[in-house]
Amino acid sequence: MGEKTTKIDLPADCPLCGGVVRITQIRCDCCSSEINSTFEIGPLSKLPAESQKFIAVFLRHRGNIKQVEKEIGISYPTINKMLEGINRTLGAEQIQPPPSRKEILDAIEKGEMSVKDATSILKNRK
């Protein structure tokens, strides 16, 4: 008699109390072997389902924000906020975006940056 299985997404937190969720069993559909223990979930599994779906779209488009905007229908600032939130949740250090051309020119004008440094920053941009 075949077992009927229902697939559900692993919740990031306990849906009843908000506590930490741990996996306690792994079962192979092919050979039916089972492992019972306590397993930690990976950091991406700890993200809310909405963030996980966003990451899948972001990766599918290889980080091309214009394509992500089209598919999801959200603005560039909203995408940046989502990325910042995901990084914060994952404990990633916040990386400052490179200065804009205007910021570079203003820094040169104020004597805060040399032309050599500015040229290096601009050449290393993608």
pLDDT, tens digit, 9 for 90 and up, residues 84-109: 889 888 887 666 677 888 988 988 89
pLDDT band at 126 (very low <50, low <70, confident <90, very high): low
Please give the mean pLDDT across all residues of the chain: 84
Residue 71 has pLDDT above 90, yes or no: yes
pLDDT band at 4 (very low <50, low <70, confident <90, very high): low
pLDDT, tens digit, 9 for 90 and up, residues 35-54: 999 887 778 887 888 888 99
Name the one residue in this structure whose structure tokens are 């940046």: 80
- The CB density around residue 74, as the number of other CB atoms within 10 Å, is 14
Exposure class string for 45-65: b at 16+ Cβ within 10 A, else e: ebbeeebbebeeebeebeeee
pTM > 0.85: no
Domain boundaries, the chain: 45-90, 96-126
Give CA 50 to chain center in angstroms. 11
Residue 30 has pLDDT above 90, yes or no: yes
Tokens of 123: 């050449």
Q: Which amino acid is at 109?
A: E
Query: H/E element holding 37?
Result: strand 34-39
Residue 3: what pLDDT?
61
Residue 32: what pLDDT?
92
